[in-house]
Amino acid sequence: MTAVGDALPPLSVRVTRADLVRYAGASGDFNPIHWSDRVATGVGLPGVIAHGMLTMALAGRVVTQWTGDPAAVRSYAVRFTRPVVVPDDDDGALVEVSGTVSAIDDTGGPRVAKVAVTATFDGKTVLGRAVAEVVLPP
């Protein structure tokens, strides 16, 4: 039985420049800050950065893997607080994701858990106020 304070199994995801190219093709977001060091640094970024929505989606995996059913996720929202800088090498950037059940609503209808999601890169949080609402099994 799921309880407040339960930790979700952590997830580590590597993001490479090849991932950024694939995401750009799928999303249609070809902004050069996601592939050109010259453009990224020219606008004041520390280098090429991952798409925010890609980072959000990767962090959401910690919830969908925990539920085993992506359709159980009722809502998911984040604030982007810092970019994930993706180096031009084979290792890419390591994003560490965790989650904790912060509340459970069982006041009628299906039980719904709020899950606080934490995503970090280079030891710093990259998503703020990341919360998913998940319908729990009966």
Q: At the fourth CATH level, which superfamily is domain 11-15+50-135?
A: Hotdog Thioesterase (3.10.129.10)
8 Å CB contact between 86 and 16: yes
Domain ranges, ordered by start, for the chain: 11-15+50-135
Give backbone dihedrals phi and psi of 52, rounded to 5 degrees, phi first. Answer: -60, -40
What pLDDT is attached to residue 108? 84
**pTM of the predicted model, to two decimals?**
0.94
What pLDDT is attached to residue 76? 98
Distances (CA, A) of 75 to 63, 110, 114: 11, 14, 9
pLDDT tens series, the chain, 138 aa: 899 999 999 999 999 999 999 999 999 999 999 999 999 999 999 999 999 999 999 999 999 999 999 999 999 999 999 999 999 999 999 999 999 999 999 998 899 999 999 999 999 999 999 999 999 998
What pLDDT is attached to residue 138? 85
